[in-house]
Amino acid sequence: MKAYTQMSKEELKALQAELEGAYEEAKAKNLALDMSRGKPAAAQLDLSMPMLSVLDEKSVLKSENGTDCRNYGVLDGIPEVKQLMADVLETKPENVIVYGNSSLNIMYDTVARSMIHGVCGETPWCKLDKVKFLCPVPGYDRHFAITEQFGIEMINIPMSEDGPDMDLVEKYVNTDAAVKGIWCVPKYSNPQGVSYSDETVRRFANLKPAAKDFRIYWDNAYCVHHIYDDKQDVLLNILEECEKAGNPDMVYQFASTSKITFPGSGVAALASSAANIADIKKKMTVQTIGHDKINQLRHVKFLKDAKGVAAHMKKQADIIRPKFEAVLQVLEKELGGLEIASWTNPNGGYFVSFEALEGCAKEIVAKCKEAGVVMTGAGATFPYGKDPKDSNIRIAPTLPTPEELAQAADLFVLCVKLVSVNKLLENA
């Protein structure tokens, strides 16, 4: 089909009438589909059901060092789960604290602790005139929600296929002592599916922060979440690179089993330097006596080790890969060559990042909702919910069934076409 941008006003009006008719037919189907979050599908959750029977009332609920997992204690996780999460994050067990089920909760606590108590003896952020965070965009809305809640000023950093704009990152971090952190999803980023290049990771490790308490919030949420066996991104180890660069304390790395086993009942971990771990544990002793060690033991019994995790994630990939491919095929078939959109084709993670014509994203999402398909809110991938170009839409293919996904994808491209034609006619 001819590119929409090359059509005459008359051609666009004829197409508009055709698309409006198709949209009214779509609305009449009374769809009720939710593609708003990157949730695992029921088939993915089913893979972890055997974990519920690895322990029972006859099991010996002791860790390898003899700790009774039914009782109080063990602030930073039983040894075998620390080893498991260390292997996943490619670090040492002594550099890991294992928490409850949510890495988001750890990130929130880490910011809160910095606000109230400070970082490794530095001034608590709440006593400072200004605190700033760098936010690669488009990015993860829940990261931005944390910093917004604490009144931290957020600064947009554009993303490329290699990661954040490091010239800008270096400019802010190295010259402004009010810049205390940066949010990063370094592997299969949310929402673009970008993995940071080796050069980007090394430039992060070699930052020269104006603030002693600057930290990189390295949310490695998708570190084992490949879609393909033969196309897997490899991420340079940030902890090792920071050590080499003489900046061992500059990173907090986060991960969890949320999209590996059960999102509401997994285990989450923080990995960092010895100094950071000691600082965090000192304050944690007041906050908790320990997390759910029975659940930690259950995960180790089920997943066993890093090879077990990889085998489990291959099964996950077999379920989600056809969904990603189906969405990408529809986008290419229906929108390819029309010059009204572009999108990412990730090798892993949970999202496809879609760029509509400038000024169209909110209207596309609204049209989808009106016809029965709920998408992530337009603007959610930017701080304060404000996408300067109103063009980015996050597509989450994992939760719907294949049948639902086909319906949702067809409606989505229809809405993209209709809103794009309307925008082109406005500007004609």
Tell me the CATH number for domain 4-44+310-426.
Answer: 3.90.1150.10
What mean pLDDT is predicted for residues 400-424?
Answer: 95
Q: Look over the chain and give the mean of its residue pLDDT values, rounded to a whole number.
A: 97
**pLDDT band at residue 428 under the 50/70/90 scheme:** confident
At residue 233, the pLDDT reads 98
The pLDDT tens digits of the residues spanning 59-95 come to: 999 999 999 999 999 999 999 999 999 999 999 999 9
Fold entry, domain 61-304:
Aspartate Aminotransferase; domain 2 (3.40.640)
**Domain coordinates in residue numbering, the chain:** 4-44+310-426, 61-304
The pLDDT tens digits of the residues spanning 282-302 come to: 999 999 999 999 999 999 999
Model confidence at 384: pLDDT above 90: yes
In percent, the amount of the chain with pLDDT more than 90 equals 97
The pLDDT tens digits of the residues spanning 234-265 come to: 999 999 999 999 999 999 999 999 999 999 99
Model confidence at 357: pLDDT above 80: yes
C-alpha torsion 141→145→146→150, nearest 10:
150
Q: How far apart are CA 44 and CA 225, in angstroms?
A: 12
Model confidence at 214: pLDDT above 80: yes
Model confidence at 374: pLDDT above 80: yes
**pLDDT band at residue 37 under the 50/70/90 scheme:** confident
Q: Other CB atoms closer than 10 Å to residue 51's CB: what's the count?
A: 19
Model confidence at 204: pLDDT above 90: yes
Model confidence at 1: pLDDT above 80: no
The pLDDT tens digits of the residues spanning 180-202 come to: 999 999 999 999 999 999 999 99
In percent, the amount of the chain with pLDDT more than 70 equals 100
Model confidence at 4: pLDDT above 90: yes
**pLDDT band at residue 36 under the 50/70/90 scheme:** confident
**pLDDT band at residue 224 under the 50/70/90 scheme:** very high
Is 130 within 8 Å of 150 (Cβ atoms)? no
At residue 39, the pLDDT reads 95
Q: How far apart are CA 19 and CA 5, in angstroms?
A: 16
Is 256 within 8 Å of 102 (Cβ atoms)? yes
* pTM given for the model: 0.97
